[in-house]
Structure 1
């Protein structure tokens, strides 16, 4: 076997794991999603949030699916690096439940994102997600009356985590 073949096979295995991860998230099979990690870890870059371990990551899945029960992905492109699979995708959903102090608006959103699936060898060690939170918030708040905005935004801003670096 050549080095090129080894690399191609490793990329194929990693890509399959990432695609299964996305499919399991959409199906809301969170045990299967968690099983794609040796130790679940998410880094949500816009808010500086780090979710480290099974319980915090599982709680994140439940919270986001309460807010967006129809959350789904449309993959645009996958790319490989030496230690990661980079996925560019659209995240879509309808705001049907509370989200970090923001009451449900019933609005749909579509936000372009990048997720870095970081590997150590064959082991997924982190999903690091980058997105423009303002794009999402603008879509979720569309149509909210100007009179209601102060109350809605104050609830949302109370939930902003302290700014700590997401990456060590």
Structure 2
């Protein structure tokens, strides 16, 4: 779904988040993580918790391998003090095993939300919610009904 009025923030932390999406996720430049992610980084989802830059690089290596055309579009970015909230749409084509699911060759279009906390101009903590049910339905793993 396209959103006509995308709200964005022009704060320094908002710009770092845009760089993260553009360079790390969409352009696969994982070395940028060393620059903009804090050494004590923590990433949380309802299913997992990861610690450190190397764990984040491994996560994106897994995503980029399974979805070589992975792309994240920022739908809304809100920045206040040391936090940035990002609403996004993730798209890609499932080409290799992911989460124990063999390659399906199917495209996905998934909505998500990410809350990031910054320390000294680096991302130190993130909470992410991704519509995994929708992804599993689009991959024909879970029925739509």
Structure 1 stretches lacking a partner, 5+ long: 1-10, 147-168
Matched length: 132
TM normalised by structure 2 equals 0.82
* Structure (1 or 2) with the larger CA radius of gyration: 1
Mapping 1:13-162, distance limit 5 Å: 13-24=12-23, 25-39=25-39, 40-45=41-46, 47=47, 49-141=48-140
The DSSP-based 3-state class of the residue aligned with 1:100 is coil
> Would you tell me which structure has more helix in proportion to its own residues?
1
Q: In the alignment, is the contact (CA less than 8 A) between 1:68 and 1:94 conserved in 2?
A: yes
> Mean Cα displacement is larger for which, 36-45 or 57-66?
36-45
User: Partners in 2 of 1:32 and 1:12 — Cα distance?
Assistant: 19
> Would you tell me which structure has more strand in proportion to its own residues?
2
In the TM superposition, structure 1's runs of 4+ consecutive aligned residues that sit over 4 Å from their partners are none
Q: CA RMSD in A?
A: 1.9
Structure 2 stretches lacking a partner, 5+ long: 1-9
TM normalised by structure 1 equals 0.72
